[in-house]
Structure formats: C-alpha cells, structure tokens
Structure 1
Amino acid sequence: MRANKLPTEEIERDPAAFADRVTEDGRFGFAAEADRYRLVVSRACPWAHRVVMTRRLMGLERAVSLAVTDPVQEIIEGDPHWVFTARTGSPDGRDPILGIHALREAYLARDPEYDGGVSVPGLVDVTSGHLVSNDFDQISEDMATEWGSLARDGAPELYPQALREEIDAVSAQVYQDLNNGVYRCGFAPDQRSYDRAVAAVFDRLDALEEHLTGRRYLVGEHITLADLRLWATLVRFDAVYHGHFKCNRRKLVEYPALWAYARDLYQTSGFGDTTDLEHIRMHYYRVQTGINPTGVVAVGPDPRGWLTEHGREALGGSPFGEGTPPGSAPDDERVRPLAEQGRGVGEVWDAQER
C-alpha cells in the first residue's frame, strides 16, 4: 500500500518477490561466503529488524555487511522508496559498497522488468549488485542455521530442530493477529475492518500475557526466532502502534508480564542495541501521511522505562542457552544512546540535509 494514500481496502501483504536461499553448501545457488552479501535495512522496519537481530546474535556482522537506509522514504515515480542519504552515512546519497541510491536498483539489477513493490530487508549479492532475497523470515532462518563456520563461537540455537514445529506455530499466530494485525488496524478502510483487526490484536496480547506470566521465553528455555518475531512488534507498540495505528485499548506498559518480557529482551544484547526509536517514529509518522497527513512526529513515550528492572530471571531459563552473548556492536553500527531517542525529532531531522 502506498503510504501517502488513504486506505480503500484491507491491507494484504505481498509474498516475497525474491526468495533465493543462502546456505552453507550453496545447494540453492547461493553459498554463505564472507564479504559476498550486503544486508540493506531500515531501522524503522519491524520485518528488517528481525534479520538485524538474527545477524547480531549469530555474530555475522563481519561476514555480512550492513547498509542502513533513511527512515523517511523518498517518493520516486509516485511510490515511496528506501534510499541512502547523508543522514544515514551516505554523503553523496549512494551506498558506498553497492553504489546505489535506492534499494529498487538492486531489484531491477536482478530483474529489469520487475514492477512490484520494494521492501526491506534486502539481501544483495555485492559482486553482481543483484537482490538475492527480500524474504525476511527465510533470511533469518538461514542465518540462524545455514551459515556454519561464519557464525560466532557461542552463537545461540535460535531455530533448534526439536522446537521448530512449535516455533512455527506460535510465530504464525503472532504474525496473523499481531505483527500484521497492527497494520490491518492502522490501514483499515472502514469501521468493521478496524473492529475485527483490533479485537484480534488484543486477544493475542491477552493470550501472550497469560502465556508469559509463568515462563521467560515464548518457546523453550532460551531465546528463539519466535521471540525475535514478537519483540520487533512489541518494541514499536507504545511508540507508534498504540496511537498512530489506533491500537489503543491498552498500552504495552499496562501488561505486567509482556512489559517485563519486553524489557528483559531490550536489556539483552542483540535487542535494545539494534533498536533506534528515533528512526521508528520518524518513519511511521512522516511517511504514512494517509494516516497522519500533517507529518507531525509524536515525541513519546519516554524511552527510559526500557532500562528499569524486570525480574524475569526468577522464571528460570537463560537468554542464550548453552551459548554466550554477542560482543559489542561494531562502531559503525551502534545506535544512538537511549536518552537521545526520547527527544523531539522533527526539528533535529529537518535541520539535517538529505
């Protein structure tokens, strides 16, 4: 859906346009090789955030480079596109590795006739400049299981074989009702569609509250892909989905177990240190003018609550199972300090040249 247009029908998310897999043995045509691929993301996007967290937890930063687009999309030929700008480290408006201004150039390099939508994340083959995949879940699953020796020592099992059926089942419910459900609320074309979507969102949150009251993680005794998929929505809930998408029956902070669970993960390496609330608010409020025609960016909530004690250790389990935490994020990938992510952003960003 074009973000600057009013919704006329219920939102439907298109399947990934390109979904080639990258595996250790290259059995699908693309082998996991250091320095061969570049991951193009927006820090605002929850679908891209899943992959960024997976890459960080698996220690693949040195194997797969990261390119961050501007959170405010540029309108090109009537459609919003993810682009590189000075605000995100590309002074000449082009990614320094791929040499492109807009991610769509990698799509067109792959298929010159492609005329569909362009989404993040995009995994790009650096040598050819071709997009390999924009399938966020498959990229995550493969990074968690198929990158072999390129993953760090002590990387957690994010998609353990014995738990995959349960992870997939939980993830499917969360996707339908919550991950995509908040968008169905925000882009609802009429009252009936909104009422149906918002009921599903809060029914799912209520069920998750009950599920997480007595256990630390969604599936098993340590972090899995199921947690990454849920948390990417939770961290955006009060900042944008509650007000901007009208998901305002309750705030996340009003769910004792869910809010503690979300803080627990925020304070775990790979979660909070990959989150930029300023990018998140700038994207949703500035780009989605069909919902927010003034483009005014909301200032809150105060992000310091993410650092308060959560007490979830008492439930047992450990974040990384038999693994270890990842080391510090690379210097050029560190997000702004949390205190800076709670300021008013409009004036600051307006003053910066695109």
Structure 2
Amino acid sequence: MSEHGYVEDDFARDTDYIEDRITADGRDGWPVEADRYRLVVSRACPWANRAIIVRRLLGLEDVLGMGVCGPTHDERSWTFDLDLDGRDPVLGIERLQDAFLARFPDYPKGITVPAIVDVPTGKVVTNDFPQMTLDLSLEWTAHHRDGAPSLYPEALREEIDEVNAWVYTDVNNGVYRCGFAGRQASYERAYDRLFGALDRLEERLTDRRYLVGDTITEADVRLFTTLVRFDPVYHGHFKANRNKLVEMPALWGYARDLFQTRGFGDTVDFEHIKRHYYVVHSDINPTRIVPKGPDLAGWLTPHGREALGGRPFGDGTPPPAPRKDERVPSEHRAA
C-alpha cells in the first residue's frame, strides 16, 4: 500500500476519522464554547477548504480561531511553517501531529486537516470533516453572525444528503481515484465515473443556479472546493483530462458564480493548492516541478448566472470582508 492508500488497483480513502462532535449540549464531552477550540486547516486541502468557507459564511471567526498549516507536509504531519518560529501562536506546537498524540499517544492513522483542537488541553477533538461543517451550521447557531445563511435547511436535507453522497463518491473522491489508480483499468473506471458525474452536474446546473433549492447550501460548498482545483491540479496531475472545467459551460459558470460570491473565492489560495499536490505527491510528480499555469484571470469574468434567479444567501446577507490576518496573499489569488 502506498502512503496515499492505493493497493495495486483501486484507490481506497481511509475514512476512519475521530468522530467526537462539538455540540450545543456537549453530549460527547465537547460543548460549544467561544474561544475554546481552534480549527486547523491548510488552504491547499479541499476538505479543509470546506470548513474555511462555512466558518466564513456563518461568521464564526471571532469565536473559533483558525490555524493555517503550510501547503506541504512530510510523512509525519502537517506543519505550522507559515507561523513565526514554525509554531502555531495559540497551540504552541510545530506539528498538527502533536495534538493527535496528546490525546492518543499511539495514534496509528493519518494526521489530517481539517481538525479541531481543544485549546486548554492541546488535544485533538475531531477530524471528521463531513460532520464538522454540518455541526458548524447546526450546533454553533448561538454564535452565528446576524444574517448568516442556512446552509443545511431542514426542508432540503434529504436532497442535500442524496446529492452529496454521489458527488463525494464520483467527483470529490473521484479525482483521487483517477490520480492514485494503480492500474490502467482502475484508472479508466474512475475516469469514466468522474466524467459521467460531471456530465450529470452539467445537465443539472444548466437551468438552475445552485445544486439544491434556490440558495447556497452545504452541497454547493462541497462541490466548489473540487471544481476550483480542477484545472490547476486534477486535469493534469491526476490525469482527469477529458476536458477542462472551462470547457463545460454550466459548471464553469456555476464555479465562477460561487468564486465571485464573498466567502468562497476569498478563501482560495491557488499557490498553496498547486504546491501541495505537485510537491507532496512525488510518486506522481517525481520532479516536484510546480506548473506556472493555468491563467486564472477567467475566474473573475462575468458568469451571467443571475439570470437563473436564486438568492445566494436567502434571507441572509453576505459575510463581511475577510479579517486582515486571514486574507489570502494577493499574489496567490485570481487577478
């Protein structure tokens, strides 16, 4: 088995995460409290990017601090190499691994982002990324900003869950099954499933602005973080090359619509994204050369999706501009 989880044939993602939850009633022993926890992310990672976006949209920045790891890591752990002296300024650790080992001294699994760490004890609470964003929506409501959108409305949950299930299997994880396939046949199966799903999404989004309902939901957040990485990384690095995102009119317009919505594009660091995949995945890219392209200017071009109707935030409002200390450097953004 490789460090990325493929065994001769098909890529198999390890989905055995720490399932503790931070809840309003504290039933798992972790009650929602302002300033108690720290969300640890890397802007390179699509799963972490989801948590960054949801935290922004809900306005949780002042109650749930965020530590940002650098775009690359070694076999041990993500590191805080962007911070002064290489340590997270709140947790005081050099590696995210330290928080996992503080709770589980013999922790045998991968050290993944996003993770939430209990600041007083320095122990990891959870790295269960699918549940994490749902709990930010449903359990942290006492701390949501005025005008926070409803990203997981009760009336749409069944449809959101259904869409999320096949998007995760065939798109979010489908690109990895292409990239880390161990044999030609498994790669081609993954490739066919991926583009079959993208064609399904292209058709779905041709006459509707968002995936479920007429506002942004959790489903849009989960798809966006894969789409924004598609042309810079997945098309070439993962051999998902039937066509580029920019060649799929509805998906490209949809992705630009979200990118230009406050809380989405302002969380995206294209430099970190490219450095992570092309440097860390040395078994796929042994030279570790990071491509100079693609041209990112298209992300800011008009998308015309307003004509489909819909209201991005429903009865809510856009989030404020990013905090100064959490802004993506201008040279790492679309321009």
Shorter-chain TM band = over 0.9
- The separation in 2 between residues aligned to 1:277 and 1:159, in whole angstroms, is 28
Return the offset for 1:193: 0.3
Deviation digits for residues 64-121 of structure 1 (CA, Å, limit 9, x no counterpart): 0010101011x3xxx2420011xx2x12111111111111111111111212111100
Q: What is residue 46 of structure 1 aligned with on the other side?
A: 46
| Maintained 8 Å contact 2:24/2:32 | yes
The 1:6–1:145 alpha-carbon spacing in structure 2 relative to 1, beyond 3 Å, is closer
- The separation in 2 between residues aligned to 1:17 and 1:245, in whole angstroms, is 25
| Maintained 8 Å contact 2:36/2:64 | yes
Superposition TM-score, scaled by structure 2 size: 0.97
- The separation in 2 between residues aligned to 1:160 and 1:265, in whole angstroms, is 19
| Maintained 8 Å contact 2:212/2:219 | yes
Q: What is residue 261 of structure 1 aligned with on the other side?
A: 254
1:217 equivalenced with 2:210 (yes/no): yes
Deviation >6 Å, runs of 4+: 4-7
After TM superposition, list the pairs within 5 Å mapping 1:335-354 onto structure 2. 335-337=328-330, 340-341=332-333
Which ranges in structure 2 are unaligned for 5 or more consecutive residues? none
Q: What is residue 303 of structure 1 aligned with on the other side?
A: 296
- The separation in 1 between residues aligned to 2:214 and 2:78, in whole angstroms, is 37
Deviation digits for residues 263-307 of structure 1 (CA, Å, limit 9, x no counterpart): 000000110000000000000001100000000001111111100
Q: Which of 277, 282, 294 lines up with 1:289 in the alignment? A: 282
Q: Which of 315, 320, 332 lines up with 2:313 in the alignment? A: 320
Q: What is residue 59 of structure 2 aligned with on the other side?
A: 59
Q: Secondary structure at the match of 2:95?
A: coil
Letter in 1 for 2:77: H
Aligned pair count reads 335
- The separation in 2 between residues aligned to 1:190 and 1:315, in whole angstroms, is 42
Q: Identity over aligned residues, as a percent?
A: 59
Q: Secondary structure at the match of 2:125?
A: strand
Q: What is residue 116 of structure 2 aligned with on the other side?
A: 123
CA root-mean-square deviation? 1.6
Q: What is residue 18 of structure 1 aligned with on the other side?
A: 18
Superposition TM-score, scaled by structure 1 size: 0.92
| Maintained 8 Å contact 2:299/2:334 | no
Q: What is residue 81 of structure 1 aligned with on the other side?
A: 77
Letter in 2 for 1:84: F
Q: Secondary structure at the match of 2:86?
A: coil
Q: What is residue 265 of structure 2 aligned with on the other side?
A: 272
Q: What is residue 175 of structure 1 aligned with on the other side?
A: 168
Q: Secondary structure at the match of 2:219?
A: helix
Return the offset for 1:215: 0.2
The 1:208–1:4 alpha-carbon spacing in structure 2 relative to 1, beyond 3 Å, is closer
After TM superposition, list the pairs within 5 Å mapping 1:69-108 onto structure 2. 69-73=69-73, 75=74, 79-85=75-81, 88=82, 90-108=83-101
Q: Which moved more, 1:298-307 or 1:257-266?
A: 298-307
